[in-house]
């Protein structure tokens, strides 16, 4: 099965050996996305809502570059550093998935950079 690397315009080099997304057989796999600026610095320190919005906008750019939309997302993996931010993350998340919701899970854990409060990885089925 051939695959295509998905890199939205203006994307910076990731901090590890991966790409923002991969398209294979009509499915977009979006790497774990953190609230980073173009220099891989954490943005919106201390603001879970703003970080979640930044992460979901970045995911949206990957999926749209592949030819899909957020309506095509079927699964999200959500990682948060503290349950105190769960409601804030869900508030913004609901704005991006207003219709039928994708399946998901959410766990509390440490993230790769201090200051990052949320990371999300997504799967979207955009067809062929």
pLDDT of residue 10: 84
H or E element in which residue 62 lies: helix 48-65
CA atoms within 13 A on the CB side of 99: 6
pTM: 0.95
Domain span including residue 81: 3-125
- pLDDT tens per residue, range 13-38: 788 889 999 999 999 999 999 999 98
Q: Give the 3-state secondary structure of 103-125.
A: EEEEEECCCCCCCCCEEEEEEEE
93 phi, psi to nearest 5 deg: -55, -45
Is residue 58 within 8 Å of 31, Cβ to Cβ?
A: no
Report the C-alpha gap between 34 and 41 in whole angstroms.
Answer: 10
Helix/strand/coil percentages in the chain, nearest 5:
25, 30, 40
> Strand 3-6 and strand 27-33: pairing?
unpaired
What CATH number is associated with residue 78? 3.30.1330.40
Name which residue leads in pLDDT, 79 or 128: 79
| Total domains, the chain | 1
């Amino acid at each position: 099965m051939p695959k295509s690397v998905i890199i939205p315009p203006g994307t910076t080099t990731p901090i590890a050996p991966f790409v923002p997304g991969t398209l294979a057989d009509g499915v977009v796999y979006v790497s774990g996305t953190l609230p980073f600026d173009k220099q891989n610095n954490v943005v919106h320190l201390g603001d879970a809502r703003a970080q979640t919005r930044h992460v979901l906008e970045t995911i949206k750019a990957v999926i749209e570059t592949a030819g899909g939309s957020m309506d095509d997302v079927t699964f999200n993996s959500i990682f948060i550093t503290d349950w105190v931010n769960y409601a804030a993350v869900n508030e913004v998340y609901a704005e991006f998935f207003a219709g039928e919701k994708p399946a998901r899970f959410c766990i509390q854990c440490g993230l790769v950079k201090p200051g990052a409060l949320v990371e999300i990885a997504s799967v979207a089925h955009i067809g062929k």
